[in-house]
Amino acid sequence: MLHKNRLFTPGPTPLLPAAQTAMASFTAHHRTADFRALFQRVLADMKEFIGTKNDVLVLACSGTGVMEASVSNLTSPGDKVLVLTAGKFGERWTGLAKAFGCHVEVLEVPYGQTFSLDDVRARLNHQVRAVFVQATESSTGARHDIEGIAKIVRAHGDETLLVVDAITGLGTTHLDVDGWGVDVIIGGSQKALMMPPGLAYCAVSERAWKRMDQTLSPRYYFDLRKERKSAAKGETAYTPATSLFAALGAALEFVRGMGNGDLAKGREELVNNAEICAEMTRAGAKALGLKLYAASPAAALTAICAPDGIDSSKIVKEFREGFDAVVANGQGEMKGKLFRIAHIGYYDYLDTIGILGALEHVLAKVTGKSIEYGAAVRAAQEVYARTQSSKQQLVGA
């Protein structure tokens, strides 16, 4: 059969066609009125997309670049920081904070788990200058309780900052950035914004801007204060990734369209979309007797354990060879143990039903056992029907 190449990976994610055409035809120089207008519109829309009144910056780098910027701008060598880690991306925080000479306290829980709020509370004290965490840990598919963690951090007053890597959280998870008091929240273009890699962004609180005037870690390209000053004048400090800004403008218009002209509403719709795709996928996997890897699964992606005695690399390979569908293997020590199906950004009902239909065949092939065809699809259909009928009731009410 004909195969269409489809990404089900937690970044890069499928591209929005309107974003692709916008970038293909974009030629404006960055120091022009045309680009300034696009830039200012995009920064204003990004606040709506993130759901914040804080200043938003968009930089030319991958997500890790802005993770690094948050460490180098907010800490001085020797500062005590607390990293909450439950996977590969949590470990990245530890590596970054160490690279900038921080004294790193680590609250670590096993892969697939999330943190107990009591443990977080117990590890916090007034020496901790910043707490670093993921909203959704893309290596395990776990969702962390950012609201609960933020409450604990904020109870400490202004001396402890909360920095959230929401690179797969934004657009898949309801996050009340300002209401909860998140100081820096970070996202990336190749996730829910349905664009190629190359841009990363953050929203920064007044508390965090103040901290930056006292900190001593070296920074140059990633000096956020410099970038903020330029942004206030409608410009970037250095050459921006101009064509990616054009793509970003188109992606934000698409999200606005999902909210019938209201971008904040569109963002909520995008999150609800991911929630439904994820719930369908979890139900489908369970109907095939598969176990989920994460105890508190995120809507960003579903990490599914390989059946006993089967290497998940075989499952990933079979998806690729049989259907040209790219699903992600486990990372690091998790390689071979699980596979990950993403719901971040440009996924819909048909993608979700399709990947579950393919999963039935993949599983039959790699296990050599007979599968009740339709079991995963049926379970997903039931989830879908239930979510649609509750929506109808809401409309009727």
Catalog residues that contact ligand PLP under the rule CB under 6 A: 10-11, 62-64, 89, 134, 138, 165, 167-168, 188
User: Nearest approach, Cβ of 344 to ligand PLP (angstroms)?
Assistant: 8
Q: Which is nearer to ligand PLP, 136 or 312 (CB)?
A: 136
Residue nearest to ligand PLP (CB): 63
CB of 117 to ligand PLP, least distance (A): 20
Partner residues linked to 184 by β-bridges: 163, 204
Q: How far is the CB of 138 from ligand PLP (least distance, A)?
A: 3
Q: Is 303 helix (H, G, I), strand (E, B) or coil?
A: strand
Least gap, CB of 265 to ligand PLP (angstroms): 25
**Is residue 279 classed exposed, middle or buried when 0-12, 13-18 and 19+ CB atoms within 10 A define those classes?**
buried
Of 130, 255, 137, nearest in space to 204 by CA: 130
Which residues fall within 8 angstroms of residue 249, CB to CB, at 6 or more apart? 22, 38, 41, 42, 45
CA–CA distance, 132 with 296 (Å, rounded to integer):
19
Long-range Cβ contacts of 154-157 (<8 Å, 24+ apart): 154/180, 154/181, 156/124, 156/126, 156/128
Nearer to ligand PLP, 70 or 242 (CB): 70
Q: Residue 137 Cβ, how far from ligand PLP at the closest point, in Å?
A: 6
Of 133 and 376, the one with the shorter C-beta distance to ligand PLP is: 133
Task: Pick between residue 114 and residue 168 the one whose CB is nearest to ligand PLP.
Answer: 168
Looking at the Cβ atoms of 200 and 353, the one nearer to ligand PLP is 200
Q: Which is nearer to ligand PLP, 64 or 387 (CB)?
A: 64
Q: In a 3-state reduction of DSSP, which class is residue 195?
A: coil
Closest contact distance (angstroms) between CB of 289 and ligand PLP is: 28
Q: What are residue 133's DSSP bridge partners? A: 164
